[in-house]
Amino acid sequence: NAGVTQTPKFRVLKTGQSMTLLCAQDMNHEYMYWYRQDPGMGLRLIHYSVGEGTTAKGEVPDGYNVSRLKKQNFLLGLESAAPSQTSVYFCASRRQGVTNQPQHFGDGTRLSIL
């Protein structure tokens, strides 16, 4: 009963390096989301996807790119990491078409940019 799985759980990068965060869900959910959580600011939406092959910008998309090539996976990329991107990143998924379904969250990826 995996639910939403995020890989990796921890990562330290140097400024300018690139990396990809992977989110995988096994619930056949159509909608997927990437959030970042910073101290005192709650979660903010980076990008989201309403289906395979579609993505859209959220509240704080700058510096990030995403792809949804398969329904179960949602990738978040940092092309050139900056210290301001040090944060905890959460992925979530949700079923389409069912009223008032909650979002299901992964355990997060803790990313530090030096």
Q: Which of residues 77-106 bind other proteins (CB under 8 A)?
A: 90, 92, 94, 99-106
Q: Does 40 bind other proteins (CB under 8 A)?
A: yes
Q: Does 61 bind other proteins (CB under 8 A)?
A: no
Q: Does 58 bind other proteins (CB under 8 A)?
A: yes
Q: Measure the N-to-C terminal CA separation of the chain; round to a whole number of Å.
A: 35
**Radius of gyration for the alpha carbons in the chain, expressed in angstroms and rounded:** 13
**Minimum distance from residue 52 beta carbon to other proteins (Å):** 15
The answer to whether 113 and 81 are in contact (CB under 8 A) is: yes
**Integer Cα distance of 47 and 17 in angstroms:** 20
Residues 3-22, mask of contacts with other proteins (x by CB under 8 A): -x------------------
